[in-house]
Structure 1
Amino acid sequence: MDSGKTLTNLDELKSVLGSFGISSELDWIAVVLFARNLVRDLTVFTDPAKAEMQRAIFAELATKDLSDERYAQIIETLDIFIMNNIATRELEQALTEEKRSAAALLAEMGGLIETIRGTRKHQEVRLEDFQDRTVGVIKESEDRSVIVSKVRGIFKELVSEFQEESQEWEKLASELQRTATFDPLLTELYNRRAFDAALTKAVRRSRETETSLTAFMIDVDHFKSVNDTFGHQVGDEVLKALASIISSQAVQFQGFVARYGGEEIIVMAEGLTEERAFISAEAMRQDVQRYDFRVREDGKFSDLPLKFTVSIGVAMLRPEWGPAELVQAADKAMYEAKQSGRNQVRILRNGTI
Structure 2
Amino acid sequence: MRAGCQETPCNIRNLCGELQKLGCDQDPSWLAILLFVRNLLRPFTIFDDSHKKKLQEYVFSELARRDPSAAHRAQMLAGLEQLLVDHLPMAAVKEQLATEQAASRSLARSITDFLEETLASEQERSTLVGAFGRETMDTLDGGDEPAVIIPRLRQLVVGMLAHYREEAQAWERKVQQLEKVIQVDPLLAPLHNRRSLEDHLCGAIARAEISGEPLAAMMIDVDNFKTAINDAFGHVVGDDVLRTLAKIIDAHATRHGWFAARFGGDELVLVCNIPGSQAQFHADAIRLAVQHYEFVPRIEGRLSEKPVRFTVSIGVAEHVSGMSAAELIGAADAAMYQVKTSGRNNVAQFEPSPA
Q: Aligned with 1:257: secondary structure?
A: strand
Q: Which residue of 2 aligns with 1:17?
A: 15
Q: Aligned with 1:176: secondary structure?
A: helix
Counterpart check, 1:216 vs 2:216: no
Q: Which residue of 1 aligns with 2:3?
A: none
CA shift, 1:159, in A, is: 0.5
Matched pairs, number: 335
CA shift, 1:10, in A, is: 2.0
Matches within 5 A, 1:296-311: 304-310=305-311
CA shift, 1:146, in A, is: 3.7
What whole-Å deviation, never above 9, does each CA across 1:274-320 have from its counterpart, x for those lacking one?
887777665544422311234579x9977x55123145475979x99
CA distance in 2, matches of 1:12, 1:346: 53
Q: Which residue of 1 aligns with 2:260?
A: 256
1:224–1:301 distance in 2 versus 1, CA, 3 Å: closer
What whole-Å deviation, never above 9, does each CA across 1:46-77 have from its counterpart, x for those lacking one?
34433443343344445554332342243234
Q: Aligned with 1:31: secondary structure?
A: helix
Identify which of 19, 30, 35 aligns with 2:37.
Answer: 35
CA distance in 2, matches of 1:155, 1:293: 59
Q: Which residue of 2 aligns with 1:188?
A: 190
Matches within 5 A, 1:277-296: 283-294=285-296
Q: Aligned with 1:267: secondary structure?
A: strand
**Stretch deviating more after TM superposition (111-120 or 285-294):** 285-294
Counterpart check, 1:247 vs 2:258: no
Query: Structure 1: which amino acid aligns with 2:309?
Result: F
CA distance in 2, matches of 1:342, 1:87: 24
Which 5+ residue runs of structure 2 have no aligned equivalent? Answer: 1-5
Q: Aligned with 2:121: secondary structure?
A: helix
Contact 1:217 1:266 in 2 (8 A): yes
What whole-Å deviation, never above 9, does each CA across 1:148-187 have from its counterpart, x for those lacking one?
3321111000011111122222222222222222233432
Q: Aligned with 1:188: secondary structure?
A: coil
CA distance in 1, matches of 2:17, 2:52: 21
What whole-Å deviation, never above 9, does each CA across 1:85-124 have from its counterpart, x for those lacking one?
2322222112111121122222222222222222222211
CA distance in 1, matches of 2:28, 2:203: 51
Which 5+ residue runs of structure 1 have no aligned equivalent? Answer: 1-7
CA distance in 2, matches of 1:60, 1:110: 52
Root-mean-square deviation (Å): 4.8
1:212–1:177 distance in 2 versus 1, CA, 3 Å: closer
The alignment-based identity, stated in percent, is 24
Query: Structure 2: which amino acid aligns with 1:27?
Result: S
CA shift, 1:214, in A, is: 5.5
Contact 2:311 2:345 in 1 (8 A): yes
Query: Structure 1: which amino acid aligns with 2:165?
Result: Q
CA distance in 1, matches of 2:284, 2:31: 48
Q: Which residue of 2 aligns with 1:121?
A: 123
Query: Structure 2: which amino acid aligns with 1:257?
Result: A
Normalising by structure 2, we get a TM-score of: 0.71
Identify which of 170, 173, 183 aligns with 1:171.
Answer: 173
CA distance in 1, matches of 2:349, 2:78: 40
What whole-Å deviation, never above 9, does each CA across 1:181-224 have from its counterpart, x for those lacking one?
2233432222355446657x489869x89987664343645333
Query: Structure 2: which amino acid aligns with 1:288?
Result: V
Identify which of 111, 114, 124 aligns with 2:113.
Answer: 111
CA distance in 1, matches of 2:49, 2:147: 91
Query: Structure 2: which amino acid aligns with 1:248?
Result: A
Q: Aligned with 2:186: secondary structure?
A: coil
CA distance in 1, matches of 2:32, 2:205: 46
Query: Structure 1: which amino acid aligns with 2:244?
Result: A
Normalising by structure 1, we get a TM-score of: 0.71
1:12–1:92 distance in 2 versus 1, CA, 3 Å: farther
Matches within 5 A, 1:126-165: 126-140=128-142, 143-165=145-167
CA distance in 2, matches of 1:320, 1:12: 59
Contact 1:215 1:268 in 2 (8 A): yes
Matches within 5 A, 1:83-102: 83-102=85-104
